[in-house]
Chains A and B, each alone.
Chain A
Amino acid sequence: QMHLVESGGGVVQPGGSLILACEASGFSFSSYGMHWVRQAPDKGLEWLAFIHYDGTIKHYADSVKGRFTISRDNSKNTLSLQMNGLRDEDTAVYYCAKVDSSPFIWGQGTMVAVSS
């Protein structure tokens, strides 16, 4: 069974920082590029960031470029998202996912609330 399990969500003040983690199991994590996707309240799915299988290539959505950093540790089967300068509009459920080729895999999500 292929699994992705996110952690690290919580409540943070505007301007604050948070690190999300995603632990992979049941598939060859180090062979695949990985993504972060979010869903704000009453909104659709929004792609945020991608990292190549070996970490050498990264892409970001304009909405998070310069504030969020994606990284991975293949020795620990872990994907991370460092989020700085958080804004109210970053409030969302954050999913790690493999969604650019088969097999497609979604995590269960972790909630981030930005509030003073």
Chain B
Amino acid sequence: EIVLTQSPGTLSVSPGERATLSCRASQSVGTNLAWHQHKPGQAPRLLIYRASSRAAGVPDRFSGSGSGTEFTLTISSLQSDDFAVYYCQQYYSWPPLTFGGGTKVQIK
């Protein structure tokens, strides 16, 4: 099973600031990694797939990078709508599909 470790667990950021979220895989997943945004009471929302491809309708302030075992999601200038929990997910080797533990982005 591929374990995904996200850091930090919680990130406190002021609106307008940059946020950098990390995801480390226990073994290489190539670029078969997605990032999802999840808000309470809502469906998760795909932001990034294939490590760096932005999903349809996702603002360009969201960007993904990395390959192999190290990945980053960057939010260039945080908006009020961006405060949420972010999960990375690998789809390279499964079952099981695995998710990271999540990074909560909260208002500083």
Q: Tell me the smallest distance from the CB of B39 to a CB of chain A, in Å.
A: 12
Q: Is B107 an interface residue (CB 8 A)?
A: no
Contacts of A106 in B (CB 8 A): 36, 43-46
Binds A, one of B10-18, B19-27, B68-76, B92-100: B92-100
Interface of chain B, main secondary structure? loop
Q: How many residues of B are counted as interface, with CB atoms below 8 angstroms from the partner's CB atoms?
A: 23
User: Closest residue of chain B to A101, judged by CB?
Assistant: B91
Interface size class of A (residues with CB under 8 A): 20 to 34
Binds B, one of A8-16, A39-47, A73-81, A83-91: A39-47
The answer to whether B95 and A59 have CB atoms under 8 Å apart is yes
- B89 is contacted by which of A50, A60, A99, A102 (Cβ under 8 Å)? A99
Provide the residues of chain B in CB contact with A37, threshold 8 Å: 97
Chain A positions within 8 Å of B99 at CB level: 44-47
Q: How far is the CB of B34 from chain A (nearest CB, A)?
A: 6
Complex CA–CA separation, A56 to B44 (angstroms)? 28
A residues within 8 A CB of B100? 44
Residues of B within 8 A of A109 (CB): 43
Q: Note all chain B residues with C-beta closer than 8 A to A97.
A: 44
Give CA–CA (A109, B45) in the complex, Å: 12
> Which of chain B's residues 71-108 have a Cβ closer than 8 Å to chain A?
87, 89, 91, 94-102
Cβ contacts B29-46/A at 8 Å (1 or 0 each)? 000001010100011111
Chain A residues lying within 8 Å of B46, measured Cβ to Cβ, are: 104, 106
- The CA-CA distance from A47 to B98 in the complex, in Å, is 7
CB under 8 Å from chain B, chain A span 81-116 = 95, 97, 99-102, 104, 106-109
**8 Å CB contact of A95 from B34, B44, B97, B102:** B44
The 3 lowest CB-CB distance pairs between A and B, nearest first, are: A59-B95, A47-B97, A104-B46
Q: Which residues of A contact B (CB under 8 A)?
A: 35, 37, 39, 44-47, 50, 59-61, 95, 97, 99-102, 104, 106-109
